[in-house]
Structure 1
Amino acid sequence: MMGSLDGVRVIDVTMSVAGPFATQILGDLGADVIKVERPDVGDDTRKWGPPFWEGESCSFISLNRSKRSVVLDLKTEEGREDFRLLVDSADVLVQNLRPGSLTKLGLGHEEMRARNPRLIYCDMTGYGGRGPLGDAPAYDPLMQAFSGLMSMTGEDGGAPARIPVSVLDQGAGMWTALAVMDALRNRDRTGEGTHVETSLMETAMMWMPSQLTGYFAAGVIPQRLGSGTVGIYPYAAFPTADNWIIIAAGNQSLWERLCRAIEREELMEDERFLLNPDRVAHREELFEELARTLRERPSAEWLEKLASVGVPSTPIQTLDQVVRDEQVQAMGILPEIPHPRIEGFRTIALPLRENGEYPDIRRVAPLLGEHTDEVIGPLRAQTRGEA
């Protein structure tokens, strides 16, 4: 499937997770993504590990497919001039270096858009590039902590816990990809590029709309609820005889069906649990009541009974179970694709389909500088007037 960004060139000056995730999305959608890396070391994630897969960092190869890699030393005039040639050929530039780094080299958005007015220049930062922390470095766990997100994760009374995926990095990457699509659409109308800014902090705020609105409305500071959520109960993990399951009884009908399925109809008449606000106010007591019953039988038996009456529920699976699951197999989101260096290589498709098909994965993650001559050579030849 040819992506909608076929013919769009993206210059990727990013490292770690947020920026590479954004440009990988653009590459999967068809863009020609040129990843600019430092000599010798490249993107930091090339060294992150273990695990490694045939000597290649799993972090790097999971975030940098659909790209070509060039090595440029931007500390030298030759490197900066080659970079300017790249920008002249580009539609989009995405960078997440420390704020001001490219500007100090004369490669900031004002200079680059003066050369190429159609350029869409994207700055990705931790704290938004302004304010007292605007220039501070930021990594996902720092931002989960600073934004308040970490104050809500973990068990009640326990230590704060980081969400163990880079939810803010990858979220910022998604917003950047969306912003690029919007800017390209605007450029179609106006002929002009623009300066786009996204950040991890702003992403964190956007991931908490209910919690922030609740605070503005009632001054409620969300507490740690483990697997639960604010405002609905039972809507959390519960122990069974052999494991844990998630039950999501998100309305009154589902609550009543749950009670009947586990043969605890008397809970429907208990004043503490009559309506959802009552159940939320007495979540600890209700957890104990439900857990006492659910511990009597194994997970599979409960899940079958709950499914038979339409109560949403699921086992809590580990990744080895997930990749073998019939549903995941049917989706086909973990394809095995040809790789020049890794036999049996599998990856994750971009999670959107058109006419039933995921976007093609055209390139595996590149070796450091693998495409420098292929990309930079023709640009230099053009400046010399060569055919």
Structure 2
Amino acid sequence: MRPLDGITVVEFSRVLAGPFATQILADLGADVIKIERPGGGDESRSFEPRLPGGESAYFFAFNRGKRSVTLNLRTTRGQEIARGLAAGADVLVENFMPGTMDKYGLGYEALATLNPGLVYISSTGFGQSGPYADRKGYDTVFQALSGIMSLTGHPDTPPAKVGIPVSDMTSGLWIVISALTGLLERKNSGRGGHVDLAMMDVQASLLALAAARIFALDEDPGRTGTAHLGRVPSSAFECADGGWLHISASDQHWKPLCEVLGLGELAADPALDANEGRIAQRERVTAALAAAVARRPRDELAVALRAVDVPAGEVKTAREALADPHTIARGMVGHFDHPTEGRFSALRTPLRLDETEYPEPGVPPLLGADTEEVLAERLGLDHDELARLREEGTI
């Protein structure tokens, strides 16, 4: 048994945030029915990188373990079928522009009448209200507008985006939180509800530490590279072999760090014993550390620091991180067997519950592969009706 066995999720979302969220729900046991446009489906099916059989590795990354149903929501019959699926669902996730689902007769008020227990999550760029509600946006647009881009990079370089689609992925996590919270509330009250989740709101919530400096010091933080405004040392340093090592030390780590690096003068200076003093002398401390680290090979120094409990992490590439012995031992990389692309690697959902052995990652569905099965199972449509729906372009 998995935690969400017996829960049905109907997904009207595409590309990243919504699909990422529903994939997590599928990994936890939910039956996720992904509604896609006939002919093209989720547009991420065409995104790079493409695999030899034509499928998209981008789509694979966020749509495992779901069932794909093609449905033309612009038709009256398609809307009726969608309502029928929602009537039997526990959670609905949609990321259309505000008002679109209402236009199709699939808004919360209409569906709550059919299914009062439905947890309905609208994940949009800017929410259902506010001056920007009708704006469209992408991950990098939210990084720019939220201040995240202005905080990313080095002081002497232009703003930079985060190396992963952080706005999409953190929003996806909040969709999951919303779904689980809604299901718990339904257990208590017997009713579902409508969650208005704005990606821009999620990004604003990530500014907690930057906001703390604004609220406390009236200071608008800027780019610091790998350094930490509130801790010294906490930076990545280049080593003798060209590798980089990130060192992040609190007060209890300071003297052991100095000992390993041969910085007796700094260790003997009482003004540097506390973080506050090291922040006041940031340039002196950082320069001394950089010079000492530059004389040592990365891996040897990392081992020496960890031996005295100084937190240190080698700056690795994504390939190196996935091949790391700890990543492998934790089973974070799994596999699935796809009907056209064969065996393919996939990252597991990281949640572990009481040592539960979760199965291998689910298989991403071919476009519309489950349409007839789902509509027959959920709505009782027979072969002749399904044939008519396909002929008229509804499915």
Task: State the TM-score bracket (shorter-chain normalisation).
Answer: over 0.9
* CA–CA distance in structure 2, aligned partners of residues 253 and 7 of structure 1: 49
Residues 349 and 359, structure 1, Cα contact 8 Å, conserved in 2: no
Q: Report the CA distance between 1:46 and its aligned residue.
A: 0.6
Secondary structure of 1:197 counterpart: strand
Cα 1:364–1:303 shift into 2, 3 Å: same
Cα 1:206–1:361 shift into 2, 3 Å: farther
In structure 2, the partner of 1:246 is 246
Q: Report the CA distance between 1:128 and its aligned residue.
A: 2.2
User: Normalised by the size of structure 1, how large is the TM-score?
Assistant: 0.94
* CA–CA distance in structure 2, aligned partners of residues 327 and 340 of structure 1: 31
Give the % identical residues: 38
Alignment of 1:357-368 (within 5 A): 357-361=356-360, 363-368=362-367
Cα 1:160–1:5 shift into 2, 3 Å: same
Residues 234 and 247, structure 1, Cα contact 8 Å, conserved in 2: yes
* CA–CA distance in structure 2, aligned partners of residues 318 and 351 of structure 1: 20
Q: Report the CA distance between 1:93 and its aligned residue.
A: 0.6
In structure 2, the partner of 1:222 is 221
* CA–CA distance in structure 2, aligned partners of residues 275 and 53 of structure 1: 57
Residues 350 and 359, structure 1, Cα contact 8 Å, conserved in 2: no
Q: Report the CA distance between 1:212 and its aligned residue.
A: 0.8
Residues 28 and 361, structure 1, Cα contact 8 Å, conserved in 2: no
* CA–CA distance in structure 1, aligned partners of residues 71 and 175 of structure 2: 24
Q: Report the CA distance between 1:360 and its aligned residue.
A: 2.6
The more displaced of 263-272 and 106-115 is 263-272
Residues 66 and 361, structure 1, Cα contact 8 Å, conserved in 2: no
The more displaced of 155-164 and 281-290 is 281-290
User: Normalised by the size of structure 2, how large is the TM-score?
Assistant: 0.92
Secondary structure of 1:224 counterpart: coil
* CA–CA distance in structure 2, aligned partners of residues 95 and 206 of structure 1: 21
Cα 1:254–1:51 shift into 2, 3 Å: farther
Structure 2 runs not aligned, ≥5 long: 386-395
2:230 partner amino acid:
G
2:366 partner amino acid:
L
- The answer to whether 1:36 aligns with 2:18 is no
2:175 partner amino acid:
T
Residues 7 and 31, structure 2, Cα contact 8 Å, conserved in 1: yes
1:254 partner amino acid:
H
1:108-133 deviation digits (Å, cap 9, x = unpaired):
11111112111111100111221110
In structure 1, the partner of 2:294 is 295
In structure 2, the partner of 1:88 is 87
* CA–CA distance in structure 1, aligned partners of residues 381 and 50 of structure 2: 42
Residues 69 and 370, structure 1, Cα contact 8 Å, conserved in 2: yes
1:19 partner amino acid:
G
In structure 2, the partner of 1:370 is 369
Secondary structure of 2:342 counterpart: coil
Structure 1 runs not aligned, ≥5 long: none
* CA–CA distance in structure 1, aligned partners of residues 23 and 183 of structure 2: 17
Aligned residues: 383
Q: Report the CA distance between 1:383 and its aligned residue.
A: 10
* CA–CA distance in structure 2, aligned partners of residues 185 and 26 of structure 1: 15
1:236-265 deviation digits (Å, cap 9, x = unpaired):
10011111111111x212111111110001
Q: Report the CA distance between 1:99 and its aligned residue.
A: 2.0
In structure 2, the partner of 1:103 is 102
Q: Report the CA distance between 1:337 and its aligned residue.
A: 3.2
Q: Report the CA distance between 1:361 and its aligned residue.
A: 4.2
Residues 334 and 361, structure 2, Cα contact 8 Å, conserved in 1: no
In structure 1, the partner of 2:193 is 194
In structure 2, the partner of 1:323 is 322
Q: Report the CA distance between 1:160 and its aligned residue.
A: 0.6
Q: Report the CA distance between 1:204 and its aligned residue.
A: 1.1
* CA–CA distance in structure 1, aligned partners of residues 293 and 10 of structure 2: 54
1:218 partner amino acid:
L
2:35 partner amino acid:
V
Secondary structure of 1:56 counterpart: coil
1:106 partner amino acid:
G
Cα 1:259–1:119 shift into 2, 3 Å: same
Residues 116 and 191, structure 2, Cα contact 8 Å, conserved in 1: yes
Q: Report the CA distance between 1:362 and its aligned residue.
A: 6.3
In structure 2, the partner of 1:213 is 212
